[in-house]
Structure 1
């Protein structure tokens, strides 16, 4: 008998993921194995359906399921165009710089809109998670949108639960979009990303957004000359477009991005596709025209490139460095040392670093070797703009120039010191190096989390508070969720997600 396992932390547990990997290996080889009984039924059933359509190795990339004309027609004339303003306000704008990608697909699992965090968009595009692609089970195997299309029920899929190996570094949650009059499946609403995509908040938030979309679609359609869709430009990066009268864009104007592999124009003539250039996740152009207030100061759009910290050490996932728009992982020890040096402007001696970064004081030679390696990492990460000085070890700007904060943790701390809570929330995506046990890192982690939380609870408006609540480490913060209920407008659909989360917290507390 298969066990019931809810989406969230349990499906991300290392032991469960190992069981899933083993079970899929046996299943794909047509071998019986008891491990399959530990896999969630919704996932194992999807595996069986996928095996009937695909080889056990899955697919490396989704194929396009729509030609140019059909894509234009569905985006311009289909009812889901009316869902865009709701999805952008509730899901896409808050998803900027969170690592999450939001997609709307049709009833066959073909993606009509894909928007969100640009770095994640570039990465997901490499596996074909892009406008026009077919993400049904028959095309890509088990995924949250594929299960929704096959069953009509909400679904979440975490990492190794995916059928195609190329998708297994991702997690996703999706809900059906139904016709309010016939109750037939019209489409699917999906979020894809890291651990946050299957957090306890994801399903209630998507369900609330789907309910708002259904309510909108239950209303009579506006006349063609008044139907407007504000274009956010989050995913296409092709600069501001000329708008229809009044500065708005009709769904037809927003029909097919210039970089869509099927589109024609300068990009196609040059032999450039979105997948080759990453263009669909390029420049982050804000809304154009009147009525685009949602992209104002509270939308937490990305900061200018020059102001962005180079090293990400907050939130889930491995620490990374970003150079020329490209992100790569760095080791935990190097991330710890960079965080410590970034935090201590006056520098640290070798023995001080040893005490702060290691649970047991290392030999002096060990620290020297690490610092030698770190110089190369730092040079590659900053292009020589930041250098590692010695006696004591410290970070300095090249040629005596003043340096900006190197890590997102220090940048968030400085923003809080300046009273800029919005920037601090945007920069600090979660706990500082959550897997680190280095003594001083634990202190920095606690100090930053505490000061950020207090600032948010005291000064944030409801939109900024909601952005904060999307963090994994805020999921059980009952005070913050209660504050959200007090601040959110009475007609805001996010209240439903807040109520659901508070109910879950109460249930967890009662069980514990």
Structure 2
């Protein structure tokens, strides 16, 4: 236990974890009074709330639901959101817990940095940029010794800039060994959601940009608002004219001599013919060509002809057949498809990839809406069949786990229309006597009749 580790040993020396000892030294140098430190209060509740609404984190509070549940009324715990400078901008918890927080100055508008109130999970997470748990007397200030606090910093995936901190605080007795893992996981999930949002915005930007006449010849590189390379050569810094487009920086050759191709978009979901979109042109794909491009799109480092032949045809695969198919695909893609190994040289996205990104970011509802059909349903390639099943089971598991609108949309979509278990769960969640429930029960009856 942390409390036991930090108590004085037989030699009378107090032993602290290195992370805590370093924090104590910083608090001591800052002149924090361990007897009674009072945090600086910058704003009132209303002003702090307004500041919270302006934070990027505010868009992802649904991810914090497990922590909000942990801070429900009567638990004694508080859910705290702090801005990057350590100011508390949001607090959730029961009346008794908030009253206990008030006694130590833990309230919206208060500054909970190490320089303000010594060692605490919020301040130390900001200082060290890592998830932190501070137990009882590990706090520098003695009036905090009845508290355990667990916090995780949220950083911008592009710039590394600190966006804020999420924290769970309460009585020592109410925190099990998994508290730090839970808070840290929520923090990482928020960062993943932000990354997924950025990649979606990138894809839209590139589609708009390269739809402009001549863009494919002139654009050398595209940088995000934070300076991340969105598109272009990674092995050299492109030189040329700079222009701003929808908040992004577009670096052009200025001479119109660039031969870079436009980004590629693949439509792989649903019963219709697979399609390739590039530079505003949409082209239907044969089944084998769609299979081939779908696999190459999933391999940023490329795939050899041998690997593609095995993935597409199994033991009977012939690399020569793959090379011939790639040759035909290059008539559509030009320099966007390179060989040895086969790989895309431009950004490539797909509707199936969108679903995976949304699931990875924790947006199950968005993933269900984007999941418009089975992945390449007519393909009999073993690897594609496995990917199809994996994607479907991931969406299905997410919909069943969260229920609500996500489960309804899954059931009503083409992939879920024959899913007996999902429809049964959907019927259970519908209000008794509602039209929704009647429809669900009728559909279930039809499924039962269909299977005899």
TM-score by length of 1: 0.37
Q: Larger relative contact order (C-alpha < 8 A, sep ≥ 6)?
A: 1
Larger-Rg structure: 2
